[in-house]
Amino acid sequence: MADLEENYRGVFDGRLGFGCSPAVLVIDFIKAYTTPGAPLHAPDVEVAVRATAPLLDLARARKVPVIFTRVLYHPDGLDGGLFIRKVPALRAMVPGEPLSEIVDELPLVASDLVIVKNYASAFFGTTLGATLTANGIDTLIVTGCSTSGCVRATAVDGMQHGFRVIVPRECVGDRHRTPHEANLFDINAKYGDVLPLEEVMAYLRGLNSGSA
């Protein structure tokens, strides 16, 4: 890791920082990833879910928009394209399937928005970009799963859409530690800032005090 950091130093070690108007994005924290025995189950995602709960509570208290995504397909898989051919386990994500529901540990409130997506990036083929722009959002705090899939794809698109991407390290998870860490490293090097959860919480706490 020391050699890797040295190789990137001075080239891929910039920081975007926080803006003035954030939103929190919760990517695919659905029961498929937290139910033991399910094909997509990932124990590290359960840990990330628990870490995200206080972040959402604080965001709502500061009137910061909270946006959830979930994966959902037509029962025939017509809108899944090649993605569900590559990852057949996704075919189960259809209306009425309990595994497709948002986890009970992160209950929705009336102000939350839920966006249905069919592919990895939360921006691709959805209203997310327009919604953020229309509401004057400049900072996207990205939580969810999986780090190497939907989180990374969303971070790339978020930066390309002109948003400051912030990833609280404790609030994202994957099936295995190796791709998780590799993708956090890459996101932090090129597409956003990967920060300790407490630093993100401190930023949100400061929003109403004028210190953010």
Catalytic site residues?
150
DSSP code per residue over 123-188: STTSSHHHHHHHTT--EEEEEEE-IIIIIHHHHHHHHHTT-EEEEEGGGEE-SSHHHHHHHHHHHH
Dihedral Cα 36, 41, 45, 46, nearest 10 deg: -10
Q: Under a CB-based contact definition with an 8 Å cutoff, are residues 129 and 135 in contact?
A: no
Instruction: Specify the pairing of strand 113-117 against strand 139-145.
Output: unpaired
C-alpha separations of 77 from 57, 93, 123 in Å: 35, 9, 20
Residues with Cβ < 8 Å from 49, sequence gap 6 or more?
A: 29, 34, 103, 105, 106, 173
